[in-house]
Structure 1
């Protein structure tokens, strides 16, 4: 299992356990996801976007206000991050 696949699994697991994770653990996962997505986008050749339309900005906003997020919002953010990384991994695998 690659590191990317393991991280996707970790995000999905965390989404299913969101009510049992600490704010620190949730923030750390989202921050790692943002870094991973940005690095993978760079590898694919997707230009960085710092607009509000960028879903990565939503992940950062969620991480910054982690204490105000509901369990459903956290699950959605973690699953969105996992899906973005999975999609980018598929694109990277096709270009190799």
Structure 2
């Protein structure tokens, strides 16, 4: 299993166990997601957007607000991050 696949699984597992996560752990997962997405975008040549609807901006806001997010919001944002990373992985695997 690749590191990317393992991280996707970690995000999904965390989304299913939000009650076991501290705000610090949530923020850390989201920060790792942001770094991963930025790196994978560079590799694919897909530019991020500096507009308000870029998923990276949404993840940054969620990371900063981790302490105030509901369990449903945490689940949704972690699953969104996993989905974006999975999609970028598919694009990268298709380039090889």
SS of residue matched to 1:50 = coil
Q: TM-score, normalised by structure 1?
A: 0.97
Residues 1:44 and 2:44 aligned together:
yes
Alignment map for 1:9-48 (pairs within 5 Å): 9-48=9-48
For structure 2, the residue ranges without an aligned partner over 5 or more in a row are: none
Count of residue correspondences:
96
Q: Could you tell me which residue of structure 2 aligns to residue 70 of structure 1? A: 70
How many Å separate the matches in 2 of 1:19 and 1:51?
A: 32
SS of residue matched to 1:51 = coil
Q: TM-score, normalised by structure 2?
A: 0.97
- Following TM superposition, by how much is the alpha carbon of 1:65 offset from its aligned partner in structure 2, in angstroms? 0.7
SS of residue matched to 1:48 = coil
- Alignment RMSD: 0.6
> Which stretches of structure 1, 4 residues or more, deviate above 6 A after TM superposition?
none
- Following TM superposition, by how much is the alpha carbon of 1:48 offset from its aligned partner in structure 2, in angstroms? 2.9
- Following TM superposition, by how much is the alpha carbon of 1:87 offset from its aligned partner in structure 2, in angstroms? 0.2
For structure 1, the residue ranges without an aligned partner over 5 or more in a row are: none
